[in-house]
Amino acid sequence: MLDINLTGSMRVCAAARDLLRESKGTIVNTASMLSFFGGGLVPAYSASKGGIAQLTKSLAIAYAPDGIRVNAVAPGWIATPLTKALQSDKVRSKAIWDRTPLNRWGTPEDMAGGVVFLSSPMSQFITGTVLPIDGGYLVT
Protein backbone atom coordinates (compact mmCIF):
# COMPACT_ATOMS: atom_id res chain seq x y z
CA MET A 1 0.00 0.00 0.00
CA LEU A 2 2.68 2.49 0.97
CA ASP A 3 4.72 2.16 -2.22
CA ILE A 4 1.70 2.16 -4.55
CA ASN A 5 0.14 5.21 -2.89
CA LEU A 6 3.30 7.31 -2.84
CA THR A 7 4.61 6.15 -6.20
CA GLY A 8 1.23 6.74 -7.85
CA SER A 9 0.92 10.21 -6.35
CA MET A 10 4.44 11.12 -7.39
CA ARG A 11 3.83 9.89 -10.94
CA VAL A 12 0.62 11.90 -11.29
CA CYS A 13 2.33 15.05 -10.02
CA ALA A 14 5.29 14.52 -12.35
CA ALA A 15 3.04 13.84 -15.35
CA ALA A 16 1.10 17.06 -14.75
CA ARG A 17 4.14 19.26 -14.15
CA ASP A 18 4.48 20.68 -17.69
CA LEU A 19 0.80 21.61 -17.90
CA LEU A 20 0.88 23.09 -14.42
CA ARG A 21 4.00 25.10 -15.29
CA GLU A 22 2.21 26.61 -18.30
CA SER A 23 -0.92 27.48 -16.35
CA LYS A 24 0.74 28.30 -12.99
CA GLY A 25 -1.57 25.65 -11.59
CA THR A 26 -1.71 24.02 -8.21
CA ILE A 27 -1.62 20.54 -6.76
CA VAL A 28 -3.75 19.62 -3.75
CA ASN A 29 -2.91 16.18 -2.40
CA THR A 30 -5.04 14.24 0.06
CA ALA A 31 -3.24 13.45 3.28
CA SER A 32 -5.02 12.59 6.55
CA MET A 33 -5.04 13.57 10.18
CA LEU A 34 -3.02 10.36 10.52
CA SER A 35 -0.25 12.25 8.70
CA PHE A 36 0.33 13.98 12.05
CA PHE A 37 0.21 11.01 14.44
CA GLY A 38 0.30 7.25 14.27
CA GLY A 39 -2.67 4.94 13.97
CA GLY A 40 -2.16 1.68 15.84
CA LEU A 41 -5.00 -0.05 14.04
CA VAL A 42 -3.94 1.17 10.57
CA PRO A 43 -0.14 1.50 10.50
CA ALA A 44 0.25 1.10 6.73
CA TYR A 45 -2.41 3.74 6.05
CA SER A 46 -0.79 6.11 8.56
CA ALA A 47 2.63 5.59 6.98
CA SER A 48 1.30 6.22 3.47
CA LYS A 49 -0.46 9.43 4.53
CA GLY A 50 2.66 10.60 6.36
CA GLY A 51 4.49 10.00 3.09
CA ILE A 52 1.93 12.12 1.22
CA ALA A 53 2.55 14.98 3.66
CA GLN A 54 6.31 14.79 3.04
CA LEU A 55 5.80 14.43 -0.72
CA THR A 56 3.69 17.60 -0.61
CA LYS A 57 6.42 19.53 1.20
CA SER A 58 9.18 18.22 -1.08
CA LEU A 59 7.27 18.96 -4.28
CA ALA A 60 6.43 22.44 -2.97
CA ILE A 61 10.16 23.15 -2.90
CA ALA A 62 10.92 21.41 -6.20
CA TYR A 63 8.03 22.94 -8.17
CA ALA A 64 8.13 26.50 -6.75
CA PRO A 65 10.62 27.73 -9.41
CA ASP A 66 7.98 26.76 -12.01
CA GLY A 67 5.30 28.81 -10.22
CA ILE A 68 3.46 25.64 -9.13
CA ARG A 69 2.07 25.56 -5.61
CA VAL A 70 1.73 22.17 -3.88
CA ASN A 71 -0.40 21.71 -0.77
CA ALA A 72 -2.52 19.01 0.83
CA VAL A 73 -5.69 18.68 2.83
CA ALA A 74 -5.81 16.36 5.82
CA PRO A 75 -9.35 15.12 6.39
CA GLY A 76 -10.47 14.18 9.84
CA TRP A 77 -13.34 11.81 10.48
CA ILE A 78 -15.52 12.26 7.40
CA ALA A 79 -18.90 10.55 7.00
CA THR A 80 -18.56 8.49 3.82
CA PRO A 81 -19.54 4.96 2.80
CA LEU A 82 -16.02 3.86 3.81
CA THR A 83 -16.54 5.04 7.41
CA LYS A 84 -20.12 3.73 7.71
CA ALA A 85 -19.17 0.83 10.00
CA LEU A 86 -17.22 3.16 12.28
CA GLN A 87 -20.10 5.64 12.36
CA SER A 88 -22.45 2.80 13.34
CA ASP A 89 -20.17 1.65 16.18
CA LYS A 90 -21.65 3.60 19.09
CA VAL A 91 -18.55 3.33 21.29
CA ARG A 92 -15.99 4.32 18.64
CA SER A 93 -18.23 7.03 17.15
CA LYS A 94 -18.82 8.54 20.61
CA ALA A 95 -15.07 8.63 21.24
CA ILE A 96 -14.58 10.51 17.95
CA TRP A 97 -17.37 13.00 18.77
CA ASP A 98 -16.03 13.51 22.29
CA ARG A 99 -12.57 14.43 20.97
CA THR A 100 -13.85 16.62 18.10
CA PRO A 101 -14.57 20.17 19.35
CA LEU A 102 -17.19 20.71 16.62
CA ASN A 103 -18.86 17.54 17.95
CA ARG A 104 -19.83 15.90 14.67
CA TRP A 105 -18.55 13.87 11.77
CA GLY A 106 -17.34 15.92 8.83
CA THR A 107 -18.94 15.70 5.40
CA PRO A 108 -17.38 15.59 1.95
CA GLU A 109 -18.78 19.10 1.48
CA ASP A 110 -16.68 20.26 4.45
CA MET A 111 -13.59 19.27 2.48
CA ALA A 112 -14.55 21.32 -0.58
CA GLY A 113 -13.87 24.75 0.93
CA GLY A 114 -10.29 23.88 1.85
CA VAL A 115 -9.56 22.41 -1.57
CA VAL A 116 -11.09 25.42 -3.35
CA PHE A 117 -9.13 27.82 -1.13
CA LEU A 118 -5.80 26.04 -1.73
CA SER A 119 -6.53 25.96 -5.47
CA SER A 120 -7.50 29.60 -5.71
CA PRO A 121 -5.59 32.87 -6.03
CA MET A 122 -6.64 33.60 -2.41
CA SER A 123 -3.81 31.27 -1.34
CA GLN A 124 -1.22 32.44 -3.85
CA PHE A 125 1.51 32.68 -1.18
CA ILE A 126 0.80 29.28 0.38
CA THR A 127 2.79 26.21 -0.63
CA GLY A 128 3.97 23.14 1.25
CA THR A 129 1.07 23.29 3.70
CA VAL A 130 -0.95 20.36 5.00
CA LEU A 131 -4.32 21.83 6.00
CA PRO A 132 -6.25 19.83 8.60
CA ILE A 133 -10.00 19.80 7.99
CA ASP A 134 -11.00 17.86 11.05
CA GLY A 135 -13.41 19.81 13.23
CA GLY A 136 -10.58 20.51 15.67
CA TYR A 137 -9.70 16.85 16.32
CA LEU A 138 -5.95 17.52 16.17
CA VAL A 139 -6.00 20.28 18.78
CA THR A 140 -7.43 18.16 21.57
Catalytic pick among 5, 30, 36, 45 = 45
d(CA 59, CA 61): 5
Is-catalytic flag, 45? yes
**Which phi and psi angles does 32 have, rounded to 5°?**
-170, 160
Cβ atoms of 77 and 87 within 8 Å: the answer is no
In terms of phi and psi (left: phi > 0; alpha: psi -120 to 50; beta: otherwise), the region of 135 is left
Positions marked catalytic: 45
